[in-house]
Structure 1
Amino acid sequence: MKTSLIQKAINVLEDAHFRVSDCSIVRSCFDILARRDDTILLIKILPNIEGLNHKSALELKNVAVVMSGIPLIIGDHTKNSILSPDVIYTRYDIHVVNIDAFAGILSGRIPSIYSIRGNYCMRIDSRLLSNIRKKLNMTQEELAYQLGVSKQSIYRYESSGRISLNIAEKLMEFLKEDIMVPSDIFTLEINCLENEISTFMTDLKRMVLREFKNIGLDTSLTNAPFDILAREREHHEKILTIVSDDREGLKRKVEIIKDISEITGCYKVCISNRARDLDVLVIRPKELSEIKEVSEFMELLVD
């Protein structure tokens, strides 16, 4: 089922004029990377969304941050129910949708309902609610009485714009106004990296991380087609870095990072003792240790 869901997602993305890289042939926290204009999506396909755990979610969010992208889960069901095409779900602060909802979102049909921990909610225009209430010469307490909620609830609705589905329906029926704001999977904000992800690290990866740090590159260890995402500070260039001596695994990863590099504009490099005949710049660990300046390293990538 996962394979067919991946292909459906790729078809939907391509129909919506995204450039797409299928990353599912290697172990990675995302299965698809897609870009349209300035929007980069990092998509994990999970038929049963219960399969997402805290560690996997952190890995996906961390890569999304450093790639300036948006993490997303496309699934089909939980252990108890099928995902609705009219709802945007949330797991570990990542949006989750089924394939029909995803197709609808890309064509402008955005669900107005979202689910957090099993509770169905809706976003409303909090400022519009406040303005309409004032035009009706109603206090927060009076509106609360009409809806059967507390004054504090009205204050919260006018502050956060988040409201339970049944109260939202009551509110809009009473006001005779549509104050709903559609949810948007493209506005998720994740502002910081979380470092407490235990990742197996080979001696070679440790060495590369150390050498990158010595020449002034910022680095993030990833569970992705690239092992390290390095960032050059002056011009904010990103470098997709494969670090491995596994020849078979290298070939698969190189094919994918070529795609990702072309789609995102990131540089690409492989650090390996054993790589042969790869369509990517290969730097031996000994050669890397001899590089003293980040400018020297970047010149190799550009040539």
Structure 2
Amino acid sequence: MSREELINTTRSVLAKAGFEISSALNLRSICFDIVGRKDETLLIIKVLSNVDAFSRENADDMKVLADALKATPLLIGETSSSGPLEAGIVYSRFKIPIISNETLGEHLLEDVPPFIFAAPGGLYVKIDGELLRKIRETDGISLGTLAEVTGVSRRTIQMYESGMGAMIDAAMRLEEFLKVPIIEPVNPFEYASKKKPEDYEVKTGEHTSSNTLNRLLEIGFAITPVTKSPFEAISRSRQTVFLTGLGVDEERLIQKAIIASEISKIAGKHSLIIVERGRPAESIESTAVVTSEELKKIDDQDELTDLALSRSTKK
């Protein structure tokens, strides 16, 4: 299956599951292909036939965007160097969750979540550690007894109770002995980042390589530069967050503004394009357009925010 077909399949599954989804970007120069939202779940998705082609640079860029937008980065793929990605298993690369379209469909459309995750050393399952401890203590079962049943150490049983994943055969033996289901489903949309959006922002006293972004810093915006994206930065004022693009070439500028508009709507943010010269319109779709000359005359973040919001709402 071609990458374009894989992307279309992913979009189809998301749409059937009730997600609001972006157009298929399918641009190798950016770090994601689809943005989708349903309720509080915002996904930033990259689709690759072979997930081994997913680079650390791409993963880092996705994490910056995901943390800044409070989203989950997700990689959809078909194969790796080890063979086809199996249904019902959550893989990972550079701490980005990876699943197949089959797993995505089972999870969203058939309400059959994955129960297995791949990690160094093999395949594992999640155990409800609190339930395991409660049963053991209530029934007076010793750590030694469970260790003997599962073929692991007492320390390992304690680690299961603390949330560590278990090898599949050990978990199955535990369930069989206790006669209680203790294996939990794996949420492929669960992304535990240790970063805050502020961690990626340009620090006070620092500058970017862009005079325009530096001007935004001067008037009080917090700036997170992004690469491999259809926009150059995420700009945050006291009032709101803008997906911020910079443009010179009018044809490319319009394309960037349309993409930023679509993504910003799905992400629940706003979008802004700052152009070096001229201006095709005050807004393109819902993306506000401001010239660099206008920006030079603005001395406060609230003034630019109000101007951008007023233009983005014009039809």
TM-score under structure 1 normalisation?
0.91
**What is the CA-CA distance between 1:300 and the residue it aligns to?**
0.7
| Ranges in structure 1 where 5+ consecutive residues have no aligned partner | 197-202
Matched, 1:133 2:136: yes
- Shift in CA distance, 275/189, structure 1 to aligned 2, threshold 3 Å: farther
Structure 1, 68-77 or 284-293: larger mean CA deviation: 284-293
Structure 1, 223-232 or 81-90: larger mean CA deviation: 223-232
Structure 1, 180-189 or 242-251: larger mean CA deviation: 242-251
Q: How many residues align?
A: 295
**What is the CA-CA distance between 1:281 and the residue it aligns to?**
2.6
Q: Deviations over 1:208-251 (max 9, x none)?
A: 2211111111111112121111111x33x110111121333222
- What amino acid is the match of 1:14? A
Aligned with 2:263 (options 260, 268, 271): 260
Q: How many Å separate the matches in 2 of 1:165 and 1:62?
A: 33
Partner of 2:204: none
Matched, 1:300 2:307: yes
- What amino acid is the match of 1:268? S
- Shift in CA distance, 283/112, structure 1 to aligned 2, threshold 3 Å: same
Q: Deviations over 1:281-303 (max 9, x none)?
A: 32222321221111101111121
Partner of 1:200: none
Aligned with 1:177 (options 168, 176, 180): 180
* Alignment check: 8 A CA contact 1:25 1:252 kept: no
Partner of 1:44: 46
**What is the CA-CA distance between 1:36 and the residue it aligns to?**
1.1
Partner of 2:236: 231
Structure 1, 215-224 or 293-302: larger mean CA deviation: 215-224
Structure 1, 168-177 or 64-73: larger mean CA deviation: 168-177
- After superposition, where does 1:284-295 map in structure 2 within 5 Å? 284-295=291-302
Structure 1, 219-228 or 80-89: larger mean CA deviation: 219-228
Q: Once superposed, what is the RMSD of the aligned Cα atoms?
A: 2.0
- What amino acid is the match of 1:210? N
Q: How many Å separate the matches in 2 of 1:36 and 1:114?
A: 24
**What is the CA-CA distance between 1:135 and the residue it aligns to?**
2.9
Aligned with 2:213 (options 191, 209, 231): 209
Aligned with 2:189 (options 180, 183, 186): 186
- What amino acid is the match of 1:273? E
Q: Deviations over 1:50-105 (max 9, x none)?
A: 01121110100110011111110000000230000110111111110000101111
DSSP 3-state at the match of 1:22: coil
Matched, 1:6 2:13: no
- Shift in CA distance, 7/122, structure 1 to aligned 2, threshold 3 Å: same
* Alignment check: 8 A CA contact 2:289 2:308 kept: no
Q: Deviations over 1:11-32 (max 9, x none)?
A: 1111111111125254321110
Q: Deviations over 1:140-182 (max 9, x none)?
A: 1221122221111111111124111121112112222210110
Partner of 1:72: 74
| Ranges in structure 2 where 5+ consecutive residues have no aligned partner | 202-206, 311-315
Q: Deviations over 1:96-135 (max 9, x none)?
A: 0000101111132111001113520100110111111123
Q: How many Å separate the matches in 1 of 2:70 and 2:270?
A: 15
Structure 1, 268-277 or 99-108: larger mean CA deviation: 268-277
Q: How many Å separate the matches in 2 of 1:143 and 1:48?
A: 40
Q: How many Å separate the matches in 2 of 1:166 and 1:46?
A: 31
